[in-house]
Structure 1
Amino acid sequence: MNSSAGMLGLLVLVTLVAGLVAALAAALAGLLARMDGASVAAAALRAGGAFSVALTVLTALAALGVSLLR
């Protein structure tokens, strides 16, 4: 396996893990908001916010990791 294929595989893996972690964070935030008594709309709004924040942080970390590997 050459370096380019390895880097592509690592990029795909990091993307999948970031998406999974962001989705889990959103589901947990929505669940906790509903348990706290928020309406479905408010819980969905909190879940969306948690998803976007988690995805932003994980993307920044992935970009940092790629820059350090170069």
Structure 2
Amino acid sequence: MNTSSIHLMLLALLLSVVALFCMLVGAAAGLLARIDGATYAAALLRGTLAFAGSATLSLALLTFVLTAL
């Protein structure tokens, strides 16, 4: 295997790990909001905002690391 395909596979693996992490963060935020007494709509909104925030930060960090290499 040449190095470009290895880098592509590594990037795909990292993106899938980031997506899984962000989904877990969003689900946990929504669950905690619902346990706290928020309505379903408010809990969904909080989970969505947590997902978007963690995705933004994770992808920014991933971009920084990949450009540093």
TM-score, normalising length: structure 2: 0.97
Aligned length: 69
Pairwise CA distance, 1:2: 1.1
Q: Secondary structure at the match of 2:38?
A: coil
Which one-letter code corresponds to 1:53 in the other structure?
A: G
Distance 2:34 2:22 in 1: 18
TM-score, normalising length: structure 1: 0.95
Which one-letter code corresponds to 2:53 in the other structure?
A: V
Question: Aligned residue for 1:55?
Answer: 55
**Over 6 Å off, 4+ runs:** none
List alignment gaps of at least 5 residues for structure 1: none
Pairwise CA distance, 1:57: 0.6
List alignment gaps of at least 5 residues for structure 2: none
Pairwise CA distance, 1:6: 0.9
Question: Aligned residue for 2:35?
Answer: 35
CA deviations 1:17-64 (Å, max 9, x no partner) are: 010000000000000000000000000000000000010011001101
Question: Aligned residue for 2:14?
Answer: 14
The alignment-based identity, stated in percent, is 45
